[in-house]
Chains A and B, each alone.
Chain A
Amino acid sequence: MGHDEKFARLSRREAMALASAAGAAALINTSALAQGAPKKGGVLKVSANANPSSLDPQTGGAGSDHTMLFPMYDTLVEWDYETLKPKPGLAESWSFSDPQTLVMNIRSGVTFHDGTPLDAEAVKFNLERAKTEQRSNIKADLATVASVAVTGPQQVTLKLSQPDAALPGILSDRAGMMISPTAVKASGNIDRKPVGAGAYQFVSWTDNEKIVVKRYDKYWRANERHLDGIEFAIIPELATGVRSVIAGQNHVAYSLPARQKAVLKRASNINQASGPTVYCQQIYFNWGKPPFNDIRVRKAINHAVDRATFVKATLDGVGEPAYMNLPSSHWAYDADVAKLYPHDLDKARALLKEANIPQGFELDLVGYTDQDSIRREEILIEQFAKVGLKAKFTNGSIAEISAAFFGKDKKGVGLLSAWTGRPDPSLTYTLLYSKNSYFNAARADVPAGLPEALAATRASENIDARKKAFATVQRIVMENALACPLAFQFELDALSPKVKGFKPNLLGKPKYEGVWLES
């Protein structure tokens, strides 16, 4: 056990050191970052992991869409690659004139790909469409926005129904991706004919095959974008995607499972990039059902898992232990909360005994059938056995099992899955731990004080005040052991040596902003 703790300390310290090294999230093999002067031209070929759900950011829903949306759509707010702190995008500045009024100044001279100017009217149109369009999937994101007013040719004022400092973060995601009002008015449905104001404009989308975008010459930062275009070849089988990069057919494969690390190492002509992400593997508890309606059992699970070994065994070091829903490099991470659940078998056994859980008690868990999930399950079964719990997993496809666990059926008492993260952590915590949230499987009552603590994270825009507010939220969530976070899976990308200037980001959804190709 002493050895394990040493490993835990080492790997966490290591991860933090690496994450802050040179202020860059990219580590391991950084030759991709050793760059000369960027060269203009060339088409970047990316092996994309899934067919997008839609190329309209408001009607789509999959987290895997973003990496294809970012090149076409600029967002009102952007984020810092390493910490996800909001920074200006299409909105060159913003301020809360009072906690319920957000004033945004929109950059002048920006146009959509169809020539429509991106002004205050266009922003108003987008935000209102996101709130009212029948097919919009992001109504909840903008729930606090009561009205949008044009208060200048390049200025919008958002009236809020309650203080919401998370809005800048939210406007760096789908809700902030600006779509040409002209295109929407013309056809109503732009799922397959996207028109944004990003660096690259849409050319074609062949389902499950390819998405092609080309350079938009009138882009407002055109001199900072070096590629002639990007081609996304849709290859859902990630091992196949890696082979396509090794064979030289594609330049990039991203978000690879850790077990591909060995393959990449063996390939002589491949660079790796890696960095922390907010992608959190965790056990979701149904805390409305026995045995997890008993806080002692949930706490026991949190003490029973050996996160350091879990990371070592399932992620080959390409990750870090998770003690809350934010990784150590995130701006709102709280080091004290991370100390709540050291690996402690005696404590876990004592808690289980207190809760009258007999030895050999069977935990009815659910999970997924893919190779990596099975591997994670095997580790957990072994770890739970040490405190006398018998974990039994029922597995199925993601769609089937997650619907059965979170939906009507309420199958299983716990789900081994992941949370992909959000640009603003308040969204993460609200979606995971609210009374009526879909991801609260039982829709059970949440601990006292949590809704107020969550509201507090949105009350002030001051980042130190928010950090404090998040510390409170994280403490309530983890002291009540509403979930068992296990590990943050780091980004792992395979890059052709021709690719220069690529940087992973903390969101784990690659952007190709500074990328250029060596001829």
Chain B
Amino acid sequence: MAQGSALAMIGRRLLQAAPVIVLATFIVFGLLKLLPGDVAVTLAGDNATDDRIAEIRRIYGLDRPFLVQYGVWLWKAAHGDLSQSILSGEQVLTSIARCFPHTLLIVVMALGLALLIGVPLGAAAAARPNGLIDRATMTLASIGIAVPNFWLAMILVSLFALRWNIFPATGATAFSVSPADAINHAILPALALAAGGMAEVARQVRGSLLDVMSSQFVRTLRAKGLKTSTILWRHGLKNIAVNLLTVTGLLFNRLLAATVVVEAVFAIPGMGGLIVHAAIQRDFTVVQGVVFAMVIVVILVNLVTDMLCAAIDPRIGR
């Protein structure tokens, strides 16, 4: 049964993905077209004239009806061609392939940090509700959520990069070029991103664990004479695994979005920079391409999360 239902789930999700992609890209395309100003003005440059702008619209087909422009883009995208940037002429797929690894590295590292720190903190807090550790953790968690990550990013840079010179202040290295250097560049941005995530993970773990700890079977375990720490780590975490996985999946998607700001602070040439630059200049093929890629990533992450949850808790898959 397990294999069949898993395949059915993948199939269902992929079928769901198609309308989501169409809807998301259509809405974004519509928004871009609703805003005044278009890429032709940017392309015409500083010496723009009305005639030149009109001519550029003609050259790039920007004067065609809205639905035709979108249709052409969608038709190409459906055939695996994300077109090329109107501004720079680079294939959008090439840009994404170059930028996404930078973003992915930061997000994965931030997620790792959030889990590595958040889970033990949450567990420690749950072990003694309203104890010192609990209160300290929850205060920390509130701060973590409240502090804007761009501010934290700048504080980290001024301390770790400018004052102590431990980590680089800006830039990124591709993981494929030098893994060590890539990680070195990604540590500060990942830390800045992770703060909010850590806080959220700690809160979720604490809350779910407290639920579990007050359940019947834990009382039985205690009655059997098991130590609190054993109950927490062996039985507690297993029982909150589904919750934790769901939170992790959501967190991944949220971190992906949060990179936009952090990438700007650290001058990381990732997806955030790519879409912001493109959106400002109304380079709609790039915007569409990034949205397209992001929708796929989010759907995939959700799919993997759901499958893992189903694997851990067979009740979900049914």
Contacts and interface: CB of A to CB of B under 8 A. Distances in A.
Q: Do A and B bind each other?
A: yes
Interface of A: 51, 53-54, 60-63, 134-135, 137-141, 189, 191-192, 206-209, 233-237, 240-241, 243-244, 246-247, 249, 397-404, 407, 409, 411, 420, 427, 431, 436-438, 443
A206 B99 CA distance: 10
B267 A237 contact: yes
A61 B45 contact: yes
B45 A399 contact: no
A400 B264 contact: no
Nearest to B43: A61
Interface in B131-188: 157-158, 161-162, 165, 168-171
Given A191-B89, A208-B277, A246-B169, A411 B36 contact: yes
Contacts of A51: 88, 277
B305 interface: no
A207 B271 CA distance: 12
B223 interface: no
B273 interface: yes
Interface stretch (B46-54, B69-77, B117-125, B238-246): B46-54
Contacts of A134: 59
A137 B42 contact: no
Given A243-B161, A247-B169, A407-B41, 7 more contacts: A209-B269, A237-B264, A241-B170, A241-B267, A244-B170, A247-B165, A443-B50
- Give the bracket for the number of chain B residues in contact with chain A: 35 or more
B269 to A, nearest CB: 4
B114 interface: no
A192 B48 CA distance: 22
B37 A400 contact: yes
Contacts of A246: 162, 169
Contacts of B98: 206-207, 209
Contacts of B87: 53
Contacts of B37: 397, 399-404, 407
A427 B45 CA distance: 14
Nearest to B274: A208
Given A208-B274, A400-B35, A61 B267 contact: no
A62 B45 CA distance: 5
B158 to A, nearest CB: 8
Nearest to B169: A247
B171 A244 contact: yes
Interface string B266-285: 11010001100100111000
B247 interface: no
A243 B45 contact: no
A61 B48 CA distance: 9
Contacts of A139: 52
A403 B32 CA distance: 14
A192 B47 contact: no
A409 B36 CA distance: 8
Contacts, number: 137
Interface in B190-220: none
**Chain A CB within 10 A, most for which of B52, B98, B169:** B169
Nearest to B264: A237
A127 B85 CA distance: 27
Contacts of B46: 61-63, 420
A135 B59 contact: yes
Given A137-B52, A243-B170, A247-B170, A235 B267 contact: yes
Question: Taking each of A137, A138, A207, A233, which has the highest tally of chain B beta carbons within 10 Å of its own beta carbon?
Answer: A207
Nearest to A243: B169
Contacts of B89: 54, 189, 191-192
Given A61-B47, A189-B89, A207-B95, A399 B280 contact: yes
Interface in B63-114: 85, 87-90, 95, 98-99
Nearest to A141: B47
Given A236-B277, A399-B280, A407-B37, A247 B88 contact: no
Contact of B45 (A137, A236, A247, A397): A137
B20 interface: no
A206, A209, A411: residue with the most chain B Cβ atoms closer than 10 Å = A209
Contacts of B42: 53, 61-62, 399
Contact of A247 (B35, B36, B52, B168): B168
A135 B60 CA distance: 10
Nearest to A427: B47
A240 B269 contact: no
A249 B169 contact: yes
B44 interface: yes
A129 B45 CA distance: 18
Nearest to A400: B37
Given A207-B90, A246-B162, A138 B47 contact: yes
B265 interface: yes
The 6 closest A-B pairs by CB, nearest first: A61-B45, A403-B37, A247-B169, A209-B269, A235-B267, A244-B170
